[in-house]
Structure 1
Amino acid sequence: MRRLVLSASALRFFDTFLLIVPFYTVMFAEKGLTPPQIGVVLASWSVVGLVLEAPCGVLADRTSRRGLLAAAQLVRALGFLVWLAFPGFWGFLVGLMLWGFKSATFNGCFEAVVYDELKAMGREVEYARVMGRTQAGRAAGMLGASLIAAPVADHGYTLLILASCAASGLAVAAAMSLPRAERAVSTARWSYVGHLRQGAVEAASLPGVPHRLLFLAAAQAVVLATADYWSLFGREVGLSKPQIALLMAALGAAGAVSAILAHRIRHLPGAALYLILIAAGACLILAAASFRPWSVSLLLAFVGLYWLVDVNADARFQHRLRPETRATVASMKGFVMQAGTSLFMLAFGVLAGAASYQAAFLAAGGMMILVGAGFGGVAWARGER
């Protein structure tokens, strides 16, 4: 188990140890992209994920999961090089589409690797704790990248992008160091369409799965659509580039601490998770309503509360799945999430262009409250506690 935790955490660390991340939306703005154009570029990432999420999940159930995770990192590194060669709307669009391929390949595949390895050890009950450690690795990668990026931010974006390519190479090595798990299903006799159909049926019919899938996907969609704009939040409230990097570092630290501690509330009833998500949405609304430099402290609370919910909700979701179709069903969640993310990113950009970024952040906070209250109300009506 030690090897699994170390390798998975290292992969998550280097997956986010990208020095360009604190600044890429600021870079888009400085290169002349309008808010709606930024929304389109960001949405291209999720549209690619929407198209490829389910097929990649099937591949993860049928082929080498380690190989897929490694290949995905190489494809994203290629996207970074496209940004260097073509620093404009179309270059940024293509680069984020390649990043979208990475995300579509990574999501369900990584979750399946971790859960099935734990199940092979008879320790699947520890999934929430292990995923909390890997999410902490993810947040630590963001934290480290932001702290390093802060002092070099004023020297241009080329160094930041090249360093991000190097981190992708280290992520490839981490992916290949994961335990060599057996394929979930023998490849001697299988049908891609049949397996995809089976995964879709299970996503819609396994007890407790549809509600958990939609809840996770909706919450993740709001967070992912909003997170790409954190650096612009900092710029809009008057933070300097180094301060923006420190903001991203602080958000990474908040996520790391929350993910590490998340397993401690795994025995809380489902209603508590919905209430925590509502509280997170309220924090984002307060941050956007005040919209001052000190308001970023409320973003830290938003991120911390969200990760408490995500880690525990994902664990409850994974416990309901079958190993033979785990990656495929998890990718169905990713498919729904990507569809929502695409719409939210486009809507965010349009609203920011028509009104302001402040208005867009207010709307995002309201959407998070609606997700928590809506799914919580449905669970209460069905007698789920």
Structure 2
Amino acid sequence: MNVKNNVRLLYACRFFQSLIPAYVIERLFWEQRGMTIPMVVYTELIFAVTVMLLEVPTGIAADRLGRRRLLILSALMGCFEFVILVYASQFWHFAAVVVIAGIARSAASGAENALLYDTLLQHGQEARFERHLGRMQAIDLTAAVLAALCGSLLASRFELELNYWISACAAGIALCVTLLLAEPRSAVSGEAAEPAAVGWGLAWTVPLRFFRKNPGVRSVVLCGIVAGAAMSYIYEFWQLYLERLNIEIAYFGLVSAVLMLIQLPGSIFAHRLKGRIRYRTLLTGIIAVFAAGFLYAAWAKDITGLAAMMLVCFVSGLLEPLTAGYLHHRIDSSLRATADSFQSLGENAVLMLSGLGFGYMSSRYDIFGGYGWMAAVCGAWLIYMIAAGGRKIED
């Protein structure tokens, strides 16, 4: 297997892993199989707990056993997920599916970025990491839009199960592509002895020491965590916002496509901005747009509020390439996947904690109150970034 092909193979993996027409009719299919709203909420909690428990252990495993193995595990779990769903009819079937999905998510988190960076590092092209990561994110979004548009069309003409069989096929192709990946030499050569010198049970303390000794990296990663958690509330609840604005369901597919496509420019051109604008300025500006966008969406309660949400989505495209690039350029290969997994773990933790306030405010002031709460969360982080958090961020 040729390491030079890894980048193109990772592009293909992202495409087929996102080409999932099942997602556009997921809630309808689950309801058809007897899943009530409380049952769905229970499965979401099971998924969150699974991810939080496995996020760091799988990152450690990726650094010690190889990133390719974890990516293969993730792709294999993705295949099982959709095949089981086709035949699912009881709550425990769906509970098993979300556990499998949590394993897949945790196994890929950290391992994918680590394999990409070390592939580029092996060929002296690590400076292009943000460019390739942005392209992967653009491919991800493009495939998701195609899947949503085609999935809704298929669901209107055929049985919903067809979307799941097609999704299983796409997951199978992604697995086949993953098997072609090669492990970069830098990922298995043991460049740093520190992680190997401690047992598996203490391995998680090594990246914690790294973050403690590097406040600039810590601030950038925390910025990505807060903004990533905030974006989840747009992904999960934009439908309710549109419904409150009395926008017809016929336009929901178009809005979904726009919310994803509008992130493409930031993903593609993030690598160019980092060389022209200071990291601190970029990240502070992104968080400022987040805070202002959520605040306006909560206050306006009209179509201009939707425009503010789209502005938040537009700048969010910059986040993953910038934050992941800043981290990977400054960390050793032997810690790469573990440290990346810490960011994902933190995002899930912030998502659950902020969800308490979001749920309370939404129960009192509807979805607009929930978005007002997220504006306060982003605003608090903006104040911290301006006052102290951004001072240690290097360019």
- The TM-score, its normalising length taken from structure 1, stands at 0.86
Q: Which has the higher contact order (CA 8 A, sep 6+)?
A: 1
Please, which of 118, 132, 135 is the counterpart of residue 133 of structure 1?
A: 135
Pair 1:177 & 2:185 matched: no
Give the corresponding residue for 2:379. 369
Moved more, 320-329 or 40-49: 40-49
Give the corresponding residue for 2:48. 46
Structure 1 residues 24, 376: CA separation in 2 closer, same or farther (over 3 Å shift)? Answer: farther
The separation in 1 between residues aligned to 2:28 and 2:376, in whole angstroms, is 25
Larger radius of gyration: 2
The separation in 1 between residues aligned to 2:69 and 2:338, in whole angstroms, is 17
Please, which of 9, 21, 24 is the counterpart of residue 11 of structure 2?
A: 9
AA matched with 2:179:
M
Give the corresponding residue for 2:286. 276
The separation in 2 between residues aligned to 1:58 and 1:103, in whole angstroms, is 15
AA matched with 1:134:
M
The separation in 1 between residues aligned to 2:247 and 2:25, in whole angstroms, is 12
How much does 1:118 deviate? 1.0
CA RMSD of aligned residues (A): 3.1
- Does the 8 A contact of 2:297 with 2:309 survive in 1? yes
AA matched with 1:98:
I
AA matched with 1:341:
L
The separation in 1 between residues aligned to 2:22 and 2:358, in whole angstroms, is 22
Please, which of 92, 106, 109 is the counterpart of residue 107 of structure 1?
A: 109
Counterpart secondary structure, 2:286: helix
Give the corresponding residue for 2:335. 325
Give the corresponding residue for 1:20. 22
Structure 1 residues 239, 15: CA separation in 2 closer, same or farther (over 3 Å shift)? Answer: farther
Structure 1 residues 241, 168: CA separation in 2 closer, same or farther (over 3 Å shift)? Answer: farther
How much does 1:249 deviate? 1.9
AA matched with 2:272:
R
The separation in 2 between residues aligned to 1:152 and 1:383, in whole angstroms, is 48
AA matched with 1:127:
F
The separation in 1 between residues aligned to 2:56 and 2:68, in whole angstroms, is 18
CA-to-aligned-CA distance 1:42-66 (integer Å, 9 cap, x gap): 3432321111011000110122322
1:151-300 pair list within 5 angstroms: 151-154=153-156, 155=158, 157-182=160-185, 183-185=187-189, 191-206=199-214, 208-239=216-247, 243-267=251-275, 268-269=277-278, 270-292=280-302, 295-300=305-310
Counterpart secondary structure, 2:331: coil
Consecutive unaligned residues in structure 2, runs of 5 or more: none
Moved more, 58-67 or 194-203: 194-203
The separation in 1 between residues aligned to 2:113 and 2:178, in whole angstroms, is 13
AA matched with 1:101:
I
Structure 1 residues 337, 68: CA separation in 2 closer, same or farther (over 3 Å shift)? Answer: same
AA matched with 1:274:
T
How many residues get paired?
A: 384
AA matched with 2:229:
A
Give the corresponding residue for 1:148. 150
CA-to-aligned-CA distance 1:154-173 (integer Å, 9 cap, x gap): 35532223222222212212
CA-to-aligned-CA distance 1:276-329 (integer Å, 9 cap, x gap): 222133223333444446754433321111121332122112111111111111
AA matched with 1:21:
Y
How much does 1:25 deviate? 4.8
CA-to-aligned-CA distance 1:181-237 (integer Å, 9 cap, x gap): 234355998732243332332233246332222222222222235423334444554
Structure 1 residues 294, 261: CA separation in 2 closer, same or farther (over 3 Å shift)? Answer: same
Counterpart secondary structure, 1:312: helix
How much does 1:100 deviate? 1.8
- Does the 8 A contact of 2:245 with 2:301 survive in 1? yes
Pair 1:356 & 2:359 matched: no
Counterpart secondary structure, 2:289: helix
AA matched with 2:265:
V
The separation in 2 between residues aligned to 1:39 and 1:73, in whole angstroms, is 25
Counterpart secondary structure, 2:204: helix
CA-to-aligned-CA distance 1:227-271 (integer Å, 9 cap, x gap): 233344445544555532332222221122320111121121112
Give the corresponding residue for 1:341. 351
Counterpart secondary structure, 2:175: helix
How much does 1:348 deviate? 4.0
- Does the 8 A contact of 1:26 with 1:232 survive in 2? no
Structure 1 residues 312, 188: CA separation in 2 closer, same or farther (over 3 Å shift)? Answer: closer
Consecutive unaligned residues in structure 1, runs of 5 or more: none
Structure 1 residues 177, 151: CA separation in 2 closer, same or farther (over 3 Å shift)? Answer: same
Give the corresponding residue for 2:322. 312
Structure 1 residues 53, 380: CA separation in 2 closer, same or farther (over 3 Å shift)? Answer: closer
Q: Percent of counterpart pairs with the same letter?
A: 21
- Does the 8 A contact of 1:60 with 1:68 survive in 2? yes
Give the corresponding residue for 2:64. 62
